[in-house]
Structure 1
């Protein structure tokens, strides 16, 4: 019988697969996004904040969905070098270290409109670009927690998403730093169909951010 549990290191490959199979429409079919995506949106959180990372276990030990994130972005950023050292720079890493990881971020897309693999790699290496760029006002306003949730086909619509987010919110409340007001999330512009799902779970749209972005917040 399926159940929710904390992420374990043995879930590394399954979590990567979940990320890859649930990429935003604009990233589907992109080799760089398929290869690097989990190192941007999944592995940083499971490596640095496992106590706020949860998976749906299908009952056989396999993770088929997750809700992952961190309770405090500033603290997460302060520890990010450990993720770089332990995961990104390890021998055989799937993410090539870009020449510039701190001063000038490349465009998100190439001239032909396809995802820019170098920009993805830069984002994997730079916690500020990953979490804060364009969201400074939210972090300053107390929305210091953030999360990602994804479920494989066949595991959506059965209440697992709601249960995962409830577990994540409980964990954030337990570990929230003083001054934390709530959770912020970003939704890919071409994946706006998920907005009503988040609204049913207490999130609301927030104006601002980078052009074309969809930001949502939930108070704790």
Structure 2
């Protein structure tokens, strides 16, 4: 066999296995990779905004991986690099209670985030000229009530969907079945940790990203009325 001995073949096989993609739990070394994934998969309406690009991981990614790492999963490309994730938490009340730790450990240590906005009513997401409002972005990052409850109190407090989730994969890893596997891992972890009274999880979808609705429906989610494009899954 071209001069290869059994030891070489075994070693080659080990390399081949090592380089195969697989799903694992999040680890701290994935911080920058998950930030990149979040930014690379932003909704089309947010991509032109430098403020949204800069702030996105601090609004939709890092708080979940920091405060609920056991329910956060990444797709590893086989070299240790995260190329996709499914992240979230099983109990928003517990998550909100722990949020000051995220502010202290992450937001206040990263210059690109900026300071907490002054107290006041939540700002509209866009300004009068249609630009994403930078103060609103910082409100969302620093205030979990603004981030999660303002638009979803009916789902959380009235309907009992206490968990929430985000999933993103880099373009070249989409359409290969990894999204389904990531959600399966996340759902299993939430099922093991969720409070008895919780019905399941909800997700919010950007209006200009409604092409993903069919995928979520195949994964057991269903659309709910009110508050924009939202879906829930019983667990």
Q: Place the TM-score, normalised by the shorter chain, in its bin.
A: over 0.9
Shift of 1:178: 2.1
Structure 1 unmatched runs, 5+:
none
Q: Please say if 1:82 is aligned against 2:101.
A: yes
Tell me, in whole angstroms, the C-alpha distance in 2 between the residues paired with 1:99 and 1:168. Answer: 32
Partner of 1:4: 23
Q: Please say if 1:215 is aligned against 2:233.
A: no
Matched residue of 1:68: which SS?
strand
Choose the corresponding residue for 2:139, options 122, 133, 136.
122
Mapping of residues 1-220 of structure 1, within 5 Å? 1-90=20-109, 92-101=110-119, 103-140=120-157, 141-209=159-227, 213-220=228-235
Tell me, in whole angstroms, the C-alpha distance in 1 between the residues paired with 2:103 and 2:193. Answer: 24
Q: State whether residues 86 and 182 of structure 2, in contact with CA within 8 Å, keep that contact through their aligned partners in structure 1.
A: yes
What TM-score does the superposition give when structure 2 sets the normalisation length?
0.89
Matched residue of 1:154: which SS?
helix
Tell me, in whole angstroms, the C-alpha distance in 1 between the residues paired with 2:85 and 2:218. Answer: 18
How many residues in Structure 1 have an aligned counterpart in Structure 2?
215
Structure 2 unmatched runs, 5+:
1-19
Which protein is richer in helix relative to its size? 2
Q: State whether residues 87 and 93 of structure 1, in contact with CA within 8 Å, keep that contact through their aligned partners in structure 2.
A: no
Matched residue of 2:129: which SS?
coil
Q: Over aligned residue pairs, what C-alpha RMSD do you find?
A: 0.9
Q: State whether residues 161 and 198 of structure 2, in contact with CA within 8 Å, keep that contact through their aligned partners in structure 1.
A: yes
Indicate the structure (1 or 2) with the bigger Cα radius of gyration. 2
What TM-score does the superposition give when structure 1 sets the normalisation length?
0.95
Tell me, in whole angstroms, the C-alpha distance in 2 between the residues paired with 1:117 and 1:195. Answer: 28
